[in-house]
């Protein structure tokens, strides 16, 4: 089998852009033109999977990534990999198992998706950034010296940040009514929200670097090209609907209450997600914190206004 780029989460927020960018760049790449892209999916019959399967160099395979073993990786000749894991409470157990398998199989390089850089600390009040911290600490240990890796620490995705705004606009266009505009943004604190496609594009460029030594063990902070505040979101909505927004709840995290109520996991753990936006409210997640390597290699381009237009299509 040809040397393979593995993309875990190929139909997800960032994975689609990874596959698409790799496919576009592989044919003309002087080093990797003979490589293939293995895009993992839960269903090869889904619309997105079928679209990916039509791209040059791409093979789609149904596989639950948490069941990947050393033997599975060796059989497919995986040399480099991208992984965007879930953020459920069992995240560490499952992603760490993947990395151990990659180490044992001799995978050369892994690019992984982490979370907001300001949160990736051992004492973050939200649970899932602590998991990312633990994964990065594990990969930094001497035992993993043979596995080169880069961790991407993107800010909150613009698509998620603007989802409620798009919902209100669509509802108003449909019947002229307004529900409360609920947003996790604070009124005035700017946050460098980022389009997940821009994250995937940068990840693909990393995977195609001939020498990844300079990126090994790096943790790259990623933000979009523009900061965004809650008040700016309100202004964007008003421009779309042509009237004043009647009622706004800033710093709204009530959706986490619904998550906790329906989850089989510890309620205390799930509810801790409410603390994730605090660093943004404190002004610690600005576009100015973006790593210079990101700006040099594949700078994020999609603005909040562009993403909102896409959400409204």
Q: Residue 210's domain spans which residues?
A: 4-155+196-223+287-300
Least confident of 30-34, 162-166, 213-217, 303-307: 30-34
CB neighbours of 149 closer than 8 A, spacing ≥ 6?
99, 109, 110, 111, 112, 139, 216, 217
CB neighbours of 178 closer than 8 A, spacing ≥ 6?
168, 171, 172, 241, 245, 246, 247
Q: SS3 for 91?
A: helix
Q: Supply the mean pLDDT for the chain.
A: 96
Q: What is the pLDDT of residues 51-84, one digit of tens each?
A: 999 999 999 999 999 999 999 999 999 999 999 9
pLDDT for 1: 80
Residues 139, 234, single domain; the answer is no
pLDDT for 43: 85
Residues 98, 169, single domain; the answer is no
Least confident of 40-44, 186-190, 217-221, 292-296: 40-44
SS (H, E, C) 216-261: CCEEEEECCCCCECHHHHHHHHHHHHCCCCCCEECCCCHHHHHHHH
Residues 8, 70, single domain; the answer is yes
Q: What is the pLDDT of residues 230-282, one digit of tens each?
A: 999 999 999 999 999 999 999 999 999 999 999 999 999 999 999 999 999 99
In a domain, 89, yes or no: yes
Determine contact, residues 70/105, Cβ cutoff 8 Å.
yes
Q: Rounded to 5 degrees, what are φ and ψ at 129?
A: -65, -30
Total count of domains within the chain: 2
Q: What is the pLDDT of residues 93-150, one digit of tens each?
A: 999 999 999 999 999 999 999 999 999 999 999 999 999 999 999 999 999 999 999 9
Residues 129, 171, single domain; the answer is no
Residues 150, 234, single domain; the answer is no
Judge whether residue 192 has pLDDT over 90. Answer: yes
Mean pLDDT of 186-215: 97
The structure's pTM equals 0.96
Residues 148, 38, single domain; the answer is yes
In a domain, 26, yes or no: yes
Residue 141 Cα distances to 81, 108, 127, 149, angstroms: 19, 16, 22, 12
Determine contact, residues 121/129, Cβ cutoff 8 Å.
yes
Determine contact, residues 118/124, Cβ cutoff 8 Å.
no
Residues 60, 165, single domain; the answer is no
pLDDT for 28: 84
**How many other CB atoms are found less than 10 A from the CB of residue 309?**
13
């Amino acid at each position: 089998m040809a040397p393979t780029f593995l993309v875990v989460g190929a139909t997800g927020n960032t994975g689609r852009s990874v596959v698409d960018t790799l496919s576009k760049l592989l044919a003309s790449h002087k080093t990797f033109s003979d490589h293939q892209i293995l895009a993992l999916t839960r269903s090869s019959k889904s619309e997105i999977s079928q679209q990916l399967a039509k791209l040059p160099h791409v093979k789609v395979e149904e596989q639950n990534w948490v069941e990947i073993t050393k033997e599975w990786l060796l059989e497919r000749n995986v040399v480099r990999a991208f992984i965007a894991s879930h953020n459920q409470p069992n995240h560490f157990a499952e992603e760490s198992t993947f990395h151990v398998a990659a180490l044992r199989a001799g995978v050369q390089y892994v690019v992984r998706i982490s979370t907001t850089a300001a949160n990736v600390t051992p004492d973050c009040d939200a649970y899932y950034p602590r998991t990312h911290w633990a994964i990065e600490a594990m990969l930094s240990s001497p035992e993993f010296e043979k596995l080169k890796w880069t961790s991407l620490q993107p800010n909150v995705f613009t698509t998620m940040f603007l989802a409620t705004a798009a919902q209100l606009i669509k509802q108003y266009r449909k019947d002229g009514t307004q529900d409360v505009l609920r947003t996790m943004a604070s009124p005035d604190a700017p946050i460098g929200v980022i389009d997940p496609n821009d994250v995937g594009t940068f990840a693909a460029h990393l995977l195609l670097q001939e020498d990844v030594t300079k990126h090994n063990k790096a943790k790259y902070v990623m933000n979009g090209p523009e900061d965004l505040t809650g008040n700016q979101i309100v202004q964007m909505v008003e421009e779309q609907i042509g009237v004043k927004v009647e009622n706004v709840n800033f710093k709204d995290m009530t959706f986490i209450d619904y998550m906790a109520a329906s989850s089989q996991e510890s309620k205390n753990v799930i509810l801790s997600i409410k603390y994730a936006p605090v660093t943004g409210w404190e002004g610690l997640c600005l576009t100015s914190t973006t790593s210079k390597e990101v700006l040099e290699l594949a700078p994020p381009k999609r603005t909040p206004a562009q993403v909102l237009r896409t959400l409204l299509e």
